[in-house]
Amino acid sequence: MGCGKSVAPPAGEPSTETPPEKKSTKATSTDLAKLQLRRENWKSNQASFYSWLDQTPEEALEPEIEIVDPHHHLWDMRELAGHNLLGIFKQQYYMLEELLDDCVGGGHNVTHTVFMQAHSFHSADTDPMMAPLGEVLMAQGVAAQCASGKYGKFRGIAGIMGTADLAQFGAGVEPLLLACKAASPNYRGIRCTASYDSHVAENFAPKPGLYMQPKFREGFALLEKHGLVFDAWLFSSQLPDLYDLAKSFPNTTIVIDHIATPVAILGNTVRAPGYTGKQGEISAKWQADMARIALECSNVNVKVGGSAIPLLGHGFDLRDKPPTSEEVARVFKSTYLWTIETFGPGRCMFESNFPVDKVSMSYTVLWNAYKRLTKEAGLSSSDRALLFCGTAKRVYRL
């Protein structure tokens, strides 16, 4: 049967063909019904989640300190219908309005942010290799809204980190990188998630060793050519892979996300039963691997944050009431201050990792905790300025 043609039924038999306009209307109606159901589900889930967060209200401390938030996402995960997938999706809708509520409404002096890829708006209308361009275009559109000045001095999405499937396409991803650079003046590079650990029940990569694969490295070589940054999310058990990658590409700027997510370092977690009772071993190995990178890989920077997710083992997300900033500072203090001392403030930057870390606390509480722990540790105003905004501005060229 030729495209665009229909065959008439025999005389006396009803037509089995639905007129094109009816097909279109039926599909649209079905899609709209699904969207409406997702919206209604999220309204209910959001109300419950926000009521939990609101139990720990705080005013922003030291509101004069400039903050550049170098790591947050935008996404629409309402199809999860309340299911907290992997323990990090309580906030299932997070777009400009929600970002403004946190960054502006939270009371802190957030001047710029960096969007981090989340596979949230890849294009469905192109080949798989080019699909990540859709997310970059989405983020650039939100950045344009912020750059209009309608929301005051806040310049959200001043930097954009996309992604590329280096493992599958290798150097073949260059057209994608060029398209992202051409379409987005805020485009700064890519992130590829390698997080896999056999002790973890649910991983974020299908198998270990992503950063060691020859095809991946073939594509990674393009980043230096195009002046792009690489964000690495991996588990601390994989830090030797990151060390090898950084040594092999010393001219490429690399950022370790979430202090390399040392699973269960803050306590036991049901998501990694293999690490039960091994906090001392985890910490010692994490410190040794991080210290080697700090000493030998000057191209590597670290995001200090991301520890509010359940995998770290603090249990904040399971409490009847969220923690205060004093509690958060006390629990995170050891790992965060050690990281800052080891890499130096000039290679470290605080991050929100929102809305992921929102599973445990509000935006205001999180940044209050950072302010508390740096002030209590006696860090100088210049070092604090690097941690809160200076390093992020340098790394992401803001």
**Which pLDDT tens digit goes with each residue over 308-345?**
999 999 999 999 999 999 999 999 999 999 999 999 99
Q: Which residues neighbour 282 within 8 Å (Cβ) at sequence distance 6 or greater?
A: 236, 262, 263, 264, 265, 275
Domain presence at residue 166: yes
pLDDT tens digits, 69-127: 999 999 999 999 989 998 999 999 999 999 999 999 999 999 999 999 999 999 999 99
**Can you name the residues that pair with 187 across neighbouring β-strands?**
160
Strand 93-94, strand 75-76: pairing: antiparallel
Domain presence at residue 93: yes
Domain presence at residue 311: yes
In angstroms, the CA 137 to CA 142 distance is 9
Residue 216 binned pLDDT confidence (cut-offs 50, 70, 90): very high
Domain presence at residue 293: yes
CATH (domain of 295): 3.20.20.140
Range of the domain at 226: 64-395
Domain presence at residue 40: no
Q: Give the 3-state DSSP-derived string for 42-85, with helices as H, strands as E and coil as C.
A: HHHHHHHHHHHHCCCCCCCCCCCCEEEEEEECCEECHHHCCCCH
Domain presence at residue 159: yes
Q: What pLDDT is attached to residue 27?
A: 61
Q: How many domains does the chain have?
A: 1
Average predicted confidence (pLDDT) for the chain: 93
Domain presence at residue 114: yes
Instruction: Check: CB of residue 248 under 8 Å from CB of residue 298.
Output: no
Ordered DSSP codes for 284-302: HHHHHHHHHHHHH-TTEEE
